[in-house]
Amino acid sequence: MCGIVGIVGRADVAPHIVDALKRLEYRGYDSAGVATISDGALGRRRAEGKLVNLERRLADEPLDGTIGIGHTRWATHGVPNEANAHPHFSGDVAVVHNGIIENFAELRAALIADGFEFHSQTDTEVIAHLITRELKAGKDPVSAAHASLRVLRGAFALAIMFRGDEDLIIGARNGPPLAVGHGEGEMYLGSDAIALAPFTNAITYLEDGDWAVLRRSGVEIFDIEGSPVSRRRQQSLGTAYMVDKGNYRHFMEKEIYEQPEVVSHTLANYLDFANSKVKEFSLPFDFAKLDRLYVSACGTAYLAGLVGKYWIERYARLPVDIDIASEFRYRELPITKNSAALFISQSGETADTLASLRYCRSEGLPIGAIVNVRESTIARESDAVFPTLAGPEIGVASTKAFTCQLSVLAALAVRAAVARGTVDAAQEAQLVRELSEAPGLAHQVLKLASQIERLARDLSQYKHVLYLGRDTNFPLAMEGALKLKEISYIHAEGYAAGELKHGPIALIDEKMPVIVIAPHDRIFEKTVSNMQEVAARGGKIILITDAKGAAESTVDTLATIVVPDVPEIISPIIYALPIQLLAYYTAVFIGTDVDQPRNLAKSVTVE
């Protein structure tokens, strides 16, 4: 989603702002802009599309100035064009904004009635005009910004600067994340620590309702009432990682190949492989005393949660209610006694997941969160954090975060089973040993890449694809379809294989390949029957299975991808890899922007 950068520096800042914006590209955007103040004048350059367009504008018409703000915009109000790109100006005020101002229509009407002219369709422009109105009423810049913040409703992160004060940037946070970076005689604002990594790793995260006054000498932070608040300065982990593609064509490819390593780090965080036991990591509840666990997340994280439901119910006999977070937050469910909530999010900033978390908090539930970004809001607002050790995930399509989320969920399922006495010590040891095989098996599966790449060439010719699976392979079927559609723009749907004959079978013909995820498990034969139903109607089957499944399947396939034999508990982690590779290579053949697919954002901070 939108990215924000601000610098009060000592040398010209525009090139540094663009560098920082590049590090926010992974969040997804469709236009970008930068503004500076130089010799008492505001200047700005904006461009539709990728940052390279903005760089071209800046090369033609450079911007001087040692103070500036920049933005990558993911359109919400108004199409992605130059006029709607940030920064927005009003009189002496320049603003960049991430989020949505919910009362913008009424504010806009009032400002128009007061004689303000609007030059964009954005909700952001009302903020600039509101501040100008306060300045005209005689307030100084800091008080004008504060007064304006008090009338805004909705979710926003802001950076504001003022012609006439070249030593002042105001940042504000109410929802989307915002970090202050501390430099030597320079100060920075950024949507996250990754953006600021080239400048500093001394970071202060603003909390909801905070606003900050940045000058070269330092920062003062206030709450919405205007009282000073103290926020911890910390060393960011963001700088510890090199965020580049290495020898890979895309971040997504790199992240797929990182999975053996990051899954191994993540599992090792929760499992004691030496003693074949689950570790005693801290929990905000006692699994033995729970009657129900509420799980909520969005997109790929939700599908990880759905796999988790199968595991936790199967191994720990604990009922799990799972919801898409945007539904959970409004469905007014009756919370049962002795329950707890678990949220799953790579970014830790997803607005709907965060809102669901806050709902559960208001209901008094203990809260755990599986997150990848340790310093994120969801992590900070949870009673216990179960980190995925995936490292920064830059490709918009989630890959390594998904398998790391599965790794944590598997470990939690075993931990719950031990606590509830549904597995004994020998079974615990067996499950832990099986989980320890995941990294090695993932590594073996990656060797199938060239076969999958050849198959992807065929798949790229189709317009529609169906994915089928049973049990934990049902969420995987949905994940395969999500991955394919989001990066290749081929229409794809994932179904529980048993649901086929309740509707989707009507779609089957020779133009509809059906990808079946079916290891040779206890329900393999049921899935074979579903494949026969597809074959009988001319459907082309791509079967992802193991050697036994390939030998025993009686159905002709377009292709069979044979994955090594895997223990049942790690099957979703391992089978995730071929479906990711298939989506990836298909998108590469089609020639889409794999790492930043159209219309998508990495961190979805609006509902």
Binding site for ligand F6R (CB under 6 A): 298-301, 345-347, 350, 353, 397-398, 482, 486, 604
The per-residue DSSP string of 320-369 comes to EEEEEHHHHTTS-PPPPSSEEEEEEESSS--HHHHHHHHHHHHTT--EEE
Q: How far is the CB of 348 from ligand F6R (least distance, A)?
A: 7
* Nearer to ligand F6R (CB atom), residue 186 or residue 381: 381
CB nearer to ligand F6R: give 194 or 555: 194
Looking at the Cβ atoms of 570 and 604, the one nearer to ligand F6R is: 604
**Buried/exposed code over 27-55 (b: 16+ C-beta within 10 A; e: otherwise):** bbbbbbbbbbbbeeebbbbbbbebbebbb
Listing DSSP states for 539-562 in one string gives: -EEEEEE-HHHHHH--S--SEEEE
For residue 524, list its beta bridge partners: none
Closest distance of CB 486 from ligand F6R, Å: 6
Three-class SS state of 162: strand
Nearer to ligand F6R, 67 or 409 (CB): 409
CB of 3 to ligand F6R, least distance (A): 15
Contact between 122 and 88 (Cβ < 8 Å): yes
Min separation Cβ 177 and ligand F6R, Å: 12
* Residue 86 identity: H
Q: How far is the CB of 350 from ligand F6R (least distance, A)?
A: 3
- Cα-based distances in Å from 16 to 4, 172, 479: 13, 21, 38
Cβ 482 to ligand F6R shortest distance, Å: 6
CB of 296: closest distance to ligand F6R in angstroms?
10
> Exactly one of 254, 309, 483, 602 is catalytic; which is it?
602
Burial state string for 325-363 with b = 16 or more CB within 10 A and e = fewer than 16: bbebbeeeeeeeeebbbbbbbbbbbbbbbbbbbbbbeee
The encoded tokens of residue 3 equal 């990215």
The backbone torsions φ and ψ at residue 428, rounded to the nearest 5 degrees and listed phi first, read -60, -50
CA 269 to CA 259: how far, in whole Å? 15
Token pair listed for 284: 């905000």
Q: Please list, in sequence order, all residues whose beta carbon lies within 8 angstroms of the beta carbon of residue 450, skipping any fewer than 6 positions away.
A: none
Instruction: Give the dihedral sign, CA 7/10/16/20.
Output: negative
Please state the closest distance from residue 390 (CB atom) to ligand F6R, in A. 11
In this structure, are residues 316 and 571 in contact, taking their beta carbons and an 8 Å threshold? no
Work out how close the CB of 568 gets to ligand F6R at its nearest, in angstroms, rounded to a whole number: 25
Closer residue to ligand F6R, CB minimum distance, 125 or 349: 349
Cβ atoms of residues 9 and 63 within 8 Å: no
Residue 300 or 596 with smaller CB distance to ligand F6R: 300
Is 602 in the active site? yes
Q: How many residues does the chain have?
A: 607
Our CB check for ligand F6R shows the closer of 339 and 346 to be 346
Other Cβ atoms within 10 Å of 472 Cβ, number: 24
Residue 290 vs 401, nearer CB to ligand F6R:
401
Closest chain position to ligand F6R (CB): 299
CA-based max dimension of the chain? 82
- Residue (116 or 205) nearer to ligand F6R, CB: 205
From the candidates 2, 298, 360, 404, give the one annotated as an active-site residue.
2
Please indicate whether residue 22 is annotated as part of the active site: no
> Which of helix, strand or coil describes residue 514?
strand
Instruction: List active site positions.
Output: 2, 602
